[in-house]
Amino acid sequence: MKILVIGSGGREHAIVWKLAQSRVVDKIYCVPGNAGIAQIAECLEVESRDFSSLLDFVKYEWIDLTVVGPEDPLAKGIVDIFQKEGRKIIGPTKAAAQLESSKVFAKEFMKRHKIPTAEYKVFTSYTHAEDYIRLKGTPIVVKADGLAAGKGVFVCKSYEEALDALKLIMKDKIFGPSGDRVIIEEYLEGIEASYLVFTDGKNILPMVTSKDHKRLLDNDEGPNTGGMGTYSPNPIITPELESNIMETIIKPTIKGLKQEGIVYQGILYAGLMIVDNKPYVLEFNCRFGDPETQVILPRLETDLVDVFMGIANGKLNRIDIKWRADASLCVILASQGYPGKYKKGFPIEGLEFLKNLKDVTIFHAGTKFDDKGKIVTNGGRVLGVTALGKDLNEARQKAYAAIEFIKFEGMHYRKDIGLKV
């Protein structure tokens, strides 16, 4: 079986790594990939936004299945194009992907279907948004409507912070047209959690629970990032709470989309805030999370290809999914300056010492080979160090012990992943 994976981050490395363990996979291609992925798959220099070239490659190479990692191709309709040509591809259609590509669509959808989320208002006018913030007071949350690589949400503790966020989004246009509309949202005080499921549009298979750490610095301080670390399982999600999430959020979302003529197939990710043991949706993502994937897939015992084919064929109910009892934890090693401006091209030392380390996997996010074949930094988030252990504490110790071997100029990482649960 031949598989194509689209993407270049740590999430895609984890997907490729898991697919490579399948008994039925003969060859994996990745577009564009990174230095870590290149060691287990063939990376192609095809522009991942050039859907017609990707489709031609899939036809020419007789690719059996395509897996989309990042949100951008989904939002631009790659699934619709592939499905029209009868090609199997994992991910929701453009219409379904609006749950992530437009926060306004998602909020209005949740309102229509009575899915718990924070109160909100939508604005296209900077002046009206400013007046509303003054009226409501702080803390308050300011969000860009469209895709912003996980950085379009500002949790503002003061009026000045809220105005700064509003200015960045609507006047400075740091997210381009994604900031044409903003959502001003009620601030929810609680504990964040990530909840992911596989679905074929009818059947739903939950994944193991996880917790992301969005803030750049220890103690959840500093700006929001794409994610600085994660662990699984998330102890806050009890069986009772999980049942509540399924019944009040996940099932109504899949059912509500179907009622509106949209069949959702692929991975659905709900970013939640747990307030007084009740779940509220902060955001939806229409694909695997990053870095949640790096702790979820190492715990998956079932062949990932079986799950994907169950989704593609609408027969997910036939899959008996199994998970390891171990805990897993991932720490992201980032470039100095991330999530702002950062330099690239710094050599990464010490990876060779970790190749055969038991229960530790290094997932590459922003890496490439330089002219001499040396692995160098090539992104804001550079590596994800993931470890398995009998419990969270053991996984944490293994991950941080492994980090001691790795060095690159300006390397930054949080020291508190897994300490506060």
- pTM of this prediction? 0.94
Q: Where are the alpha helices (DSSP H) in 20-137?
A: 51-60, 71-75, 78-84, 98-101, 103-112, 126-136
- Between strands 27-32 and 42-43, the pairing is parallel
| Axis-axis angle for helices 159-166, 126-136 (nearest 10) | 160
User: Which residue matches tokens 């949100």?
Assistant: 71
Task: Note the pLDDT of residue 421.
Answer: 67
- Calculate the alpha carbon distances from 145 to 109, 149, 215, 243, 336 in Å: 14, 12, 20, 30, 28
Please give the single-letter amino acid code of residue 322: K
pLDDT in tens, 146-182: 988 777 889 999 999 999 999 999 999 999 999 999 9
Please give the single-letter amino acid code of residue 104: V
Of the chain, the percentage scoring pLDDT greater than 90 comes to 93
Backbone phi, psi, residue 213, to 5°:
-120, 100
Q: CA 297, CA 305: separation in Å to the nearest integer?
A: 12
Q: CA 46, CA 53: separation in Å to the nearest integer?
A: 7
DSSP, residue by residue, 362-380: EEESSEEE-TTS-EEE-SS
Domains of the chain are 2-93 (3.40.50.20), 119-186 (3.30.1490.20), 191-318 (3.30.470.20), 327-403 (3.90.600.10)
CB 249 within 8 A of CB 271: no
Task: Note the pLDDT of residue 229.
Answer: 97
Q: What is the 3-state secondary structure (H, E, C) of 165-214?
A: HHHHHHHCCCCHHHHCCEEEEECCCCEEEEEEEEECCCCEEECCCEEECC
Residue 47 pLDDT level (bands cut at 50, 70, 90): confident
For 245, the token pair is: 């999430």
- Residue with the bigger pLDDT between 309 and 223: it is 309
Backbone phi, psi, residue 363, to 5°:
-100, 125
pLDDT in tens, 236-262: 999 999 999 999 999 999 999 999 999
